[in-house]
Chains A and B, each alone.
Chain A
Amino acid sequence: MSTDSVKLLILRASPYAMRAILALEAKGVKYELIEEDLSAQSQLWLEFNPVYKKIPVLLHGGKAIPESLFIVLYVDEAWPERAAFFPKDPYARAMTHFCGDFIDKKVAHVSTYCTAQFGFTQLDAKPFFNGTGIGYADIFLAPLAAWLRLFVELAGIRAPTAEEAPKLHKFFNAIREHPATKVAFPDPDELLSYVILHLKRTMAA
C-alpha cells in the first residue's frame, strides 16, 4: 500500500483518540496528527463523520473512516504486512472481538476488571490479549491504563489489586512500557484538561 497521506483528526487525551493513535503507532504508519478544537468555527469532522459528528476521524488518501472502533479495524487491514491485531484462528478471532466489545461496553465499571481477567485467561494473555504484540482487544483496554490513576484520584474508584487481578496488572505494566503509548498517552495535565472540558460540555448539555 500506500504513499497516500494519512491524517488523524483527534481531540487530545480522548480515550477514543488514544485507540486510533495506538493502532497507527503499532503498525508504524506515518501520519499527521491534527488536534481539533471543539469550539472552532470550521468543524472539519462534520463533513467527514456526518452520521455521528464526532472525532476521531482517519483520512487516508481521500477516504474518511470515522469512529475509533472502525479506525482500528481499518488500520489492521489496510496495513496487513506487520503487527496483526487479530490471531488467524476463527475461534480466537471471535473471542478477540468479544473481549474488545466487552471492554468497550463495560470499561468504566471496576467490577468488570475481574471479568477482563477471564478474558485474559481465555486468550492466554502473554501479557497482551494478542500475545507479545498489541492487538484489537489490547488497543481497546489500553486507554484505561492512562486514565486509571485519574479515576482513582478524582472518583475514588477502587481498582483491583495485583493479587485480585494479576494478569490485568501485568497488562497495565506492559502497556505503559509499549512504545506506542509514549505517543498515544497524554500527560496528566492534558488528561485533566480533557476531563474538565468533558464535564463542562456534559453539564451544559
Chain B
Amino acid sequence: MAAEDVKLLSFWASPYAMRAILALEAKGVNYESIEENLNPKSQLLLESNPIYEKIPVLLHNGKAIPESLIIVLYVDEAWPEHGGFLPKDPYARAMTHFWSDFIDKKIFEVPFSALKAKGEEKEAALKELYDNLLTLESGFIKFDAKPFFNGSSIGYADICLAPFVAWLPVFVDLAGIRLPTAEEAPHLHKFIGAIREHPAAKVAFPDIEKLAAFSRSLQQRWAAST
C-alpha cells in the first residue's frame, strides 16, 4: 500500500495505546504518533471517537478506528503481508480471542485497582491477580507458547498482554504485586523476558523512571480525592 496516511492518537503512559504501537511496529507500518494531552481532549479525539472519547484511536486514510484490541485486529487485516497476529485454524483463533479477553478483563485492570485500593480491598485485588496469572499460565501451556501465544513472533494475545509487562516494575514497587514464581509459572516468566527484548517493545514501552513518577503522582491524586 503506497502513500498511506496513518496517525495514532496516543498517550505515552497508556497501556492501551502501547498495544496499538506494538501492532504498528510489528507490521513495520509508517505512522505518526500524536500525543494527546487528555485535559482538555482535542477536537480531533472527540470527533474520531465520539462514543468513548478515549485514546488510542487509529486514523488510517481518514477512517477512525477506536479501542485498542479492535485497532490490533484492524492493523493485522489492513497490512496482511507482514505476518499474521492470529493462527489460521478456527479453533486456535477462537481460543486466541478467549485468552486475549481473559487477559483484558482479568489481568490488565486488576493491578490498577490494587494501586488505588487500600487494606482488604487491596489484598483481594492482589490475590485475584496472582490466581489469574496462574490461570494464564495454563493458557500458555495449552498454546505451547514458544515463548509467545503466536509462536516465535508476537500476535494478538501477546500484544494484548505486553503492556502489563511495561508497567510491571511500577506495579511491584507501588502496589505490592506478587507474581507466581518461575517454578510455578515458567511460561509467564519466559514471556516477560522475551517481550522486553522485542524491538516493538523498545518503541512502545516508556522509560520506567518516567512511568514510576507518573504513577506516584496518580496515586497522590487518587488519595487526595477520597
Say yes or no: A67 contacts B51, CB within 8 Å: no
Does A102 reach chain B (CB closer than 8 Å)? yes
Number of chain A residues whose Cβ lies closer than 8 Å to a Cβ of chain B: 24
CB distance from A1 to the nearest CB of B (A): 9
Say yes or no: B77 contacts A93, CB within 8 Å: yes
Say yes or no: A74 contacts B90, CB within 8 Å: yes
Majority SS of interface residues in chain A?
Answer: helix
Does A25 reach chain B (CB closer than 8 Å)? no
Does B130 reach chain A (CB closer than 8 Å)? no
Does B203 reach chain A (CB closer than 8 Å)? no
CB distance from A19 to the nearest CB of B (A): 14
- CB-contacts of A68-87 with B (<8 A): 69-71, 73-74, 77-78
CB distance from B131 to the nearest CB of A (A): 11
Knowing A101-B67, A102-B51, A118-B51, say if A69 contacts B74 (CB, 8 Å): no
CA distance A60 to B95 in the complex (A): 13
Interface size class of B (residues with CB under 8 A): 20 to 34
Does A199 reach chain B (CB closer than 8 Å)? no
Cβ 8 A contact of B97, one of A73, A78, A118: A73
Contact with A along B126-159 (1 / 0, CB 8 A): 0000000001000000000000000000000000
Which of B16-24, B58-66, B178-186 participates in binding chain A? B58-66
Knowing A77-B90, A77-B93, say if A91 contacts B98 (CB, 8 Å): no
CB distance from A103 to the nearest CB of B (A): 12
List of A residues within 8 angstroms of B50 by Cβ: 118
Does A66 reach chain B (CB closer than 8 Å)? yes
Knowing A94-B70, A101-B70, say if A78 contacts B90 (CB, 8 Å): yes
Say yes or no: B70 contacts A67, CB within 8 Å: no
Cβ 8 A contact of B94, one of A73, A91, A115: A73
Does A109 reach chain B (CB closer than 8 Å)? no
Q: Add 18 more A-B contacts to A70-B98, A94-B74, A97-B70 (CB < 8 A).
A: A51-B135, A63-B91, A69-B101, A70-B94, A70-B95, A70-B97, A71-B94, A74-B93, A78-B90, A90-B77, A90-B78, A93-B77, A94-B70, A94-B77, A98-B66, A101-B67, A115-B51, A118-B50
List 14 contacting pairs A-B, 8 Å CB cutoff, sorted by A. Answer: A51-B135, A69-B97, A70-B95, A70-B98, A70-B101, A73-B93, A74-B90, A77-B90, A93-B77, A94-B77, A98-B66, A98-B70, A101-B67, A118-B51
- The 10 nearest A-B residue pairs measured at CB: A74-B94, A77-B90, A90-B77, A94-B74, A78-B90, A90-B78, A70-B94, A94-B65, A70-B98, A97-B70
